[in-house]
């Protein structure tokens, strides 16, 4: 990207940030989904023994394994830790569409936090929430736990919550937002597929990356197979989603990854009716000509700029995501 184009995009973002619609000018009414439930969640997060030692250190207990994604959902610049726990002598298995099948008894965790200063993580962090997905009787159950001020415990919350968060980012800018912890129904809005709850991030293409384990580099899928928590299969033919923040990757790959992780949970035929009726299918494995991106890229950029999309899960405009979409509105994905 040339300096002139970068400057132009930055100017556009500043202008539209000042002129975009007010938060309450665009609203999508979310129905009550009332999906079946098969797990009664504990009142306190500590009941699940997710962390060892001081909970705020976020050190996983021996039963939980770290998961890292190539690309993840934008959540108001929050950092996230993802963990998985499988029942003894069970494994994750791969499905034909690149998704993973998890055995009953699986626990997936996602903990959201902000560093005080991203330039110096030793200054500490504030943990906001931990979300759980637990599979029982072939049904996924979702819950959110709010951390207390002393960062020693988190309490079950189904009704949502707002809390003011401030931090200094890696560019030395002070940022703040009224962070929104979702309600139980809001979790269902994004995590549904074919009228049931499902995980979003941990797919084979998104887990197919190099990670550091035991002070050595290893492919994450190979590592999970070595731990015998993932079935054995060859990596040959397994595609890899790029990190949409990686400027060394192609623009088209970054664009597909961004839309897959930030929009596809609503914009696909298996989602709930209102967004599924639109002319887009942003799933990563869908052939480009069937996604609707090429003819709709201006609309995609406009909706992001106006903060009409995503209409749930964020309070801040994702500056870098908007910049990426603006570039792609000038260019072709192909």
pLDDT at 82: 98
Token look-up 């609707």 returns: 292
The ranges assigned to domains in the chain are 1-29+244-334, 31-241
User: What is this structure's pTM?
Assistant: 0.89
pLDDT digit string, tens, across residues 314-334:
889 899 988 898 888 776 654
State the pLDDT at residue 22.
39
- Sites in the chain below the pLDDT cut of 70: 1-28, 276-278, 331-334
How much is the pLDDT for 331? 67
């Amino acid at each position: 990207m040339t300096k002139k184009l970068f400057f132009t995009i930055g100017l556009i973002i500043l202008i539209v940030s000042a002129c975009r619609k007010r938060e309450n000018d665009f609203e999508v009414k979310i129905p009550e989904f009332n999906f079946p439930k098969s797990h009664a969640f504990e009142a306190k997060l500590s009941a699940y023994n997710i962390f060892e030692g001081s909970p705020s250190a976020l050190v996983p207990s021996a039963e939980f394994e770290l998961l890292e994604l190539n690309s993840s959902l934008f959540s108001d610049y929050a950092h996230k830790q993802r963990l998985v726990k499988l029942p003894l002598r069970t494994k994750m298995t791969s499905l034909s569409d690149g998704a993973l099948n998890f055995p009953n008894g699986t626990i997936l965790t996602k903990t959201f936090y902000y560093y005080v200063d991203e330039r110096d993580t030793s200054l500490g962090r504030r943990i906001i929430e931990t979300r759980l997905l637990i599979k029982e009787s072939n049904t996924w159950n979702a819950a959110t736990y709010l951390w207390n001020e002393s960062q020693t415990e988190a309490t079950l919350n189904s009704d949502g919550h707002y809390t003011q968060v401030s931090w200094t980012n890696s560019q030395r800018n002070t940022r703040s937002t009224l962070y929104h912890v979702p309600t139980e129904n809001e979790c269902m809005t994004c995590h549904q597929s074919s009228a049931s709850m499902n995980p979003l991030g941990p797919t084979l293409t998104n887990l197919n990356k190099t990670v550091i384990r035991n002070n050595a580099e290893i492919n994450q899928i190979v590592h999970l197979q070595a731990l015998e928590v993932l079935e054995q299969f060859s990596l040959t033919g397994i595609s890899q989603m790029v990190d949409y923040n990686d400027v060394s990757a192609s623009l088209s790959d970054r664009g597909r990854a961004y839309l897959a992780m930030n929009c596809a949970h609503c914009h696909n035929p298996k989602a709930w009716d209102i967004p599924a009726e639109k002319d887009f299918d942003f799933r990563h494995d869908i052939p480009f000509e069937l996604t609707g991106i090429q003819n709709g890229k201006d609309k995609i950029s406009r909706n992001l700029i106006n903060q009409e999309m995503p209409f749930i899960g964020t309070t801040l405009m994702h500056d870098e995501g908007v910049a990426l979409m603006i570039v792609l509105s000038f260019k072709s994905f192909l």
